[in-house]
């Protein structure tokens, strides 16, 4: 069995901006686990544990799906707590697709391959404990965000190995968009 998801690892040119925001988050009165630089990603569909014998079929379906989409630009902006600002479990950045390609792409992946999909976002950290909820809410709203944009030009099948030190992601398969 292989734990995996369909998504895209974030290109290096946008990671520095994200790391600056993570450094600001570390100054907040909360205990959290920051997502490692090499693990920054956007998940299109979380598949969970997949039988190894089904990996090849998933790769083939991803190849089919990738032929239906052109590469497109997304904007990373808008720090927000999930599920709510009163119960913070995760801090994420919104992934905004002004051209309208991302939602149908994610929907097609879920329909043809499976898994589950959440609104597009980029996880910055997983929150374990918030010491001062009111201060965290206020500081999140005031945080200066200058992240930028990047082009989604591929779909990746990514293996997620859970370790004590955190997950290790390995790209198992990659399909270029048209």
Look at residue 152 and give its three-state secondary structure: strand
Q: Is 121 one of the catalytic residues?
A: yes
Residue 56 in contact with residue 162, Cβ under 8 Å?
no
Told to judge if 173 belongs to the known catalytic residues of this protein, a careful annotator would answer: no
Which entry of 41, 69, 115, 158 is annotated as an active-site residue? 41
Percent of the chain as helix, strand, coil, to the nearest 5: 30, 45, 25
128 alpha-carbon distance from chain centroid: 19
Assigned token pair, 100: 């309208």
Tell me how far apart the alpha carbons of residues 96 and 102 are, in angstroms, rounded to a whole number: 9
Tell me the Ramachandran region of residue 87: left when phi exceeds 0, alpha when psi lies from -120 to 50, beta otherwise.
beta
- Catalytic one among 35, 121, 136, 169? 121
How far apart are the C-alpha atoms of 31 and 36, rounded to whole Å?
16
> CB–CB of 93/75 below 8 Å?
no
Active site residues: 41, 121
């Amino acid at each position: 069995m292989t734990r995996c998801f369909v998504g895209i690892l974030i290109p290096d040119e946008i990671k520095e901006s994200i790391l600056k925001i993570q450094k600001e988050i570390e100054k907040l009165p909360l205990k959290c686990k920051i997502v490692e630089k090499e693990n920054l990603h956007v998940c299109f569909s979380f598949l969970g544990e997949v039988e190894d014998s089904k990996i090849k079929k998933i790769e083939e379906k991803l190849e089919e799906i990738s032929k239906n989409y052109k590469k497109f630009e997304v904007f990373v902006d808008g720090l927000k707590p999930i599920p709510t600002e009163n119960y913070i479990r995760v801090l994420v950045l919104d992934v905004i697709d002004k051209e309208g390609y991302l939602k149908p792409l994610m929907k097609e992946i879920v329909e043809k391959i499976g898994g589950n999909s959440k609104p597009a976002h980029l996880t910055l950290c997983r929150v374990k404990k918030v010491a001062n909820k009111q201060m965290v809410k206020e500081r999140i709203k005031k945080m200066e965000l200058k992240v930028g944009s990047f082009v989604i030009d591929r779909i990746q099948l990514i293996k997620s190995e859970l370790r004590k030190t955190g997950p290790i992601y390995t790209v198992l398969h990659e399909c270029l968009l048209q």
